Amino acid sequence: MLEKIKQLLNEVNALQAATPEDVEALRIKYLSKKGEVSKLMEDFRSVPAEMKKEFGIRINELKNCATERINELKAAVAATETVADDLDLTRTPYPIALGTRHPLTIVKNEIVDIFSRLGFTLAEGPEVEDDWHVYSSLNFADDHPARDMQDTFFVEAHPDIILRSHTSSVQARVMETTQPPIRVICPGRVYRNEAVSARAHCFFHQIEGLYIDKNVSFQDLKQVMLLFAQELFGPDTQIRLRPSFFPFTEPSAEMDVSCTICGGKGCSMCKGSGWLEILGCGMVDPAVLESNGIDPNVYTGYAFGMGVERIANLKYQVKDLRMFSENDVRFLEEFKAAN
């Protein structure tokens, strides 16, 4: 039996392997339950008692030697393995899950693109604003309801600092630093102190536009609004302007578009009227021009503003506005085709 152990020890020391499969085959041959070492352990039972200690030591030496040699072969094979030439290690795992832009981003980008082609440039401003840029410079009276805490979020201990309730504050900042001609589009998030429901939220997104130059008329405003509506909703879209009131425009109007769902025939979306309200607009009040350092005797202009959620709701018929801010992946995946 000692000769058998010596023979196996010589075999183990001479073991060679070229692949991981070769290493595994050697492990099975020598160290598995039915391997050579296990067979010696079975034969160990018939060894005379006075020789068991010596045989036990020899078998353990053989087992340890075989284990070390197989581990050495395993490490050597792993170190010499080469990567296939056609494998790109910089490639991300496959399959790659396709993402999608948020529906509000899709709509915002589409609106900005339309006005960019009409000559408007992008302007942005801070979401935490002061009273002057949000209200006073835009002709809001000191007792206007919008200044109440029921409508506006005020920063505690700083009554003059608020979360902007409209992106008109960006227009005010542009007017006070830029002389006409001015033609800007102002997208951004705004905040209002409203109860969250399917039809309203405490934050939402607006896009407002401003054009100031010599001899700008209401007819210019109407033509731009018509072109915008037809680009956004289709060439057959019609618009109508209804008299309204805003502190910063005079005259002011609400703009409706012919219902894109029923084609103006009347449905639940347009409440049977055939029209859908999408934005407010009007000629910039001379008092606003004067407050921001622009001579109202030389320049005139128009402004407009719309809610991005409102436009997205009309385009995609999303009935609950809360879905836009809940980040439900199932909802967002529905807009992959719109990217």
Over residues 236-261, the pLDDT tens digits come to: 899 999 999 998 999 999 999 998 77
Q: Are 278 and 225 in contact (CB under 8 A)?
A: no
| Higher pLDDT among residues 20 and 93, named by residue | 20
Where do we find the tokens 């939402």?
204
What pLDDT score does 282 carry? 95
Model confidence at 332, in pLDDT bands (50, 70, 90)?
A: confident
What pLDDT score does 41 carry? 75
pTM above 0.85, yes or no: no
Question: Mind listing the pLDDT tens digit for each residue in 270-325?
Answer: 788 889 899 999 999 999 999 999 999 999 999 999 999 989 888 888 878 888 88
